[in-house]
Chains A and B, each alone.
Chain A
Amino acid sequence: MEGVRLTIALIIAIILQWTLPGVWEGFAFIDFPLIVVVYAALQRNSIRALLFGTIAGISVDALSGGLLGASGFSKTLVAYAVSEMARRVYLDNLILRIPVIAGACFVNDLVYYGVHRLLGQTPTADPVTTVAYSVIGTTIAGTLVYLAMQSFSADRARMRKRKEMFAPRRQTRRRNPIRLGK
């Protein structure tokens, strides 16, 4: 069930990434698919995170002016790094997740820029400004998304607890104390 929810979230993130920069250019600095990829990696499911990284990256590359596979490469690398980190370090706290998403975005942008330079393609945008804006935008958006998800899952946990507290008592079958016929 968790996998289905995350897949839907990833599809929505890719659609947002495709369309929102057309509405306002500033949205290009928010990496919506990366937020979902990092979230999936934080769930300690490395395989899902890696596949999400590749699919999200290639989908974004398809409509970008950059090389096809460059974003897939960087997001796959970030997904693996975050899932390995989540396996070794406790990262279930929201405060700890904020630097993780910022770091993931920074590494993702650096790798993306690096592979383009490596293959002789120089991105148009100024790297320092773009990385800085991208880290700020994605960290803010990621924090808000994680905050919303945390409060959503806390609400669900509270509901479950309440249900358990006021659950109808199990009706045990009693034997008739007056045994008829004996």
Chain B
Amino acid sequence: MVERSQKDVWRLAPWLMIALLLGNFVLMAFDAKVEGGERVIRAWTETVADFVQSPVTTVTASVSNYFSSIANLRSAQDENGELKKRVQELEVETQQKKALDAENERLRSLLKLKEQSKYNVLIARIIGRDPSAWFDSAIVNRGSLDGVRLNMPVVTDGGLVGRITAVSPLTSQVDLITRDKSGIGAVVGQIGESSALGVVTGTSKKELLEMKYVTGSTDVQLGQTVFTTGQDGIFPPGLKIGEIVNLVSGSATTPHQIEIQPASRLGSMQEVGILLYEPPDRGEFEQKLPNAVKKK
């Protein structure tokens, strides 16, 4: 081990800082550039993190379940010790059963979704949330070994949740629809019945989406449901996004201002379904657009 004097350390520090900042900047630039493609460094870091995250998530979930069960026992405090202990045990058991019932219900609805869906659905468990407070993303316990690919849609029985943005062999990262970078081709009401087409994006308000570019002359009502159109080339058509909760009607020259509440409970979901859906080839898709220059 080389012992350095304090003077050497102070002389070396600015150079090391510059080198590290440059390294980080190169990483950022690389990550920003390959936004739509395979993010190799992230995928492997996620794999390493999974070995820690999965067991810790399991342990913390069971510990927090236990403590939340104990927290519900305040009413039994006046009873005598033996009875109190017995009630506590029973209450913990009941709470555990309730949690199991709720989990069963969630899984049952996902199974229903799997049966009803036109696409193959892979059930996944959320094992982590975004560690920073800045972005809406989650980590699920399914990766490329399970057949997950980039940009696959993620849903619950309620509706659309987001899409896969990074895949490692064992885990994947999901960007939620509330993220303002997400742009989903959407329609108010059923496709074919409505001409209120637009793009759904996230807003700075959590749990609220915005639908842009809907022509002001189209008929839009509060409480109507918004579905995907499939025109974004990522999500299949017909997936439920949410319901209109706020509407400022536009005119012939200005678009409607529409706010949507997502159909899925994004804050409290624990299991999700990944649609094993591969969108049609972009080139082929773009050739179908009315204003595209057709190849001879």
Whether the pair B180, A76 counts as a contact (CB closer than 8 A) is no
User: Given A46-B13, A124-B204: A63 and B46 within 8 A (CB)?
Assistant: yes
- Is B178's CB within 8 Å of the partner chain A? yes
Q: A62: which B residues are within 8 A, CB to CB?
A: 42, 45-46, 48-49
Q: Which residues of B contact A (CB under 8 A)?
A: 4, 6, 9-10, 12-14, 16-17, 20-21, 23-32, 39, 41-42, 45-46, 48-49, 52-53, 56-57, 60-61, 64, 126-137, 139, 165, 173, 175, 178-181, 202, 204, 206, 267
Known: A22-B129, A124-B204. Contact between A47 and B49, CB under 8 A?
Answer: no
Given the known A-B contacts A63-B46, A119-B29, A124-B179, are A17 and B131 also in contact in the complex, defined by CB atoms under 8 Å? yes
Contact B12 A47 (CB under 8 A): yes
A15 and B50 CA atoms in complex are apart in Å by: 11
Chain A stretch 105-163: residues in CB contact (< 8 A) with chain B:
112-113, 115-116, 119-126, 130, 133-134
- Are B131 and A73 touching (Cβ within 8 A)? no
* Chain A 72-88 interface 0/1 with B at a Cβ cutoff of 8 Å (1 = within): 11001100100110010
List chain B residues, Cβ under 8 A from A83. Answer: 13
Using CB atoms and an 8 Å cutoff, list the residues of chain A in contact with chain B.
15, 17-23, 25, 28-29, 44-47, 50-51, 53-54, 57-60, 62-73, 76-77, 80, 83-84, 87, 112-113, 115-116, 119-126, 130, 133-134
- Contact (Cβ within 8 A) A69 B25: yes
A142 to B30, CA, bound (A): 33
Query: B12 — which chain A residues lie within 8 A by C-beta?
Result: 46-47
Smallest CB-CB A-B distances: 7 pairs: A65-B135, A69-B27, A65-B137, A62-B45, A46-B13, A73-B24, A123-B134
Given the complex of chains A and B, what is the CA–CA distance between A67 and B132 in angstroms? Answer: 11
Which residues in A have their C-beta under 8 angstroms from that of B175? Answer: 65
Once the chains bind, are B60 and A124 in contact (CB under 8 Å)?
Answer: no
Docked pose: A70 CA to B13 CA in angstroms: 20
CA A64 to CA B4, docked complex, whole Å: 36
Interface centre among A28, A57, A69 (most CB of B within 10 A): A69
Known contacts A29-B133, A60-B132, A67-B31; 19 additional CB pairs below 8 A are: A19-B57, A21-B131, A22-B57, A23-B64, A28-B131, A47-B16, A50-B16, A54-B24, A59-B45, A62-B45, A66-B132, A67-B27, A67-B32, A68-B45, A119-B28, A121-B181, A123-B135, A124-B181, A125-B206
| Contact of B49 with A124 in the complex, beta carbons under 8 Å | no
Once bound together, how far apart are the Cα atoms of A22 and B139, in whole Å?
A: 10
Contact between A73 and B21, CB atoms less than 8 A apart: yes
B97 to chain A, nearest CB (A): 22
Among the interface residues B13, B20, B39, B204, which one has the most CB atoms of the partner chain A within 10 A?
B20
Contacts of A121 in B (CB 8 A): 32, 181
**Chain B residues, Cβ within 8 Å of A21:** 128-131
A17 vs B52: C-alpha distance when bound (angstroms) = 12
Contact A64 B16 (CB under 8 A): no
**Closest residue to B126 on the A side, CB-wise?**
A22
B134 touches A64 (CB 8 A): yes
* Residue contact B60 to A66, C-beta cutoff 8 Å: no
Complex Cα gap A15–B56 (Å):
9
Q: Which residues of A contact B137 (CB under 8 A)?
A: 64-65
Q: Indicate if the CB atoms of B128 and A18 lie closer than 8 Å.
A: yes
- What is the minimal beta-carbon distance from A28 to any residue of chain B, in angstroms? 4
Q: How far is the CA of A21 from the CA of B128 in the complex (A)?
A: 8
In this complex, which of B23, B45, B134, B136 has the most chain A Cβ atoms within 10 angstroms of its Cβ? B134
* Bound-complex Cα distance A76 to B267 (A): 32
- Residues in A neighbouring B41, C-beta threshold 8 A: 68
Bound-state Cα–Cα, A45 to B131, Å? 27
Q: Is the CB of A124 within 8 A of B178?
A: yes
Residue of B nearest to A28 (CB): B133
Q: Which residues of A contact B56 (CB under 8 A)?
A: 15, 18-19
Q: What residues on A are CB-neighbors of B60 within 8 Å?
A: 19-20, 22-23
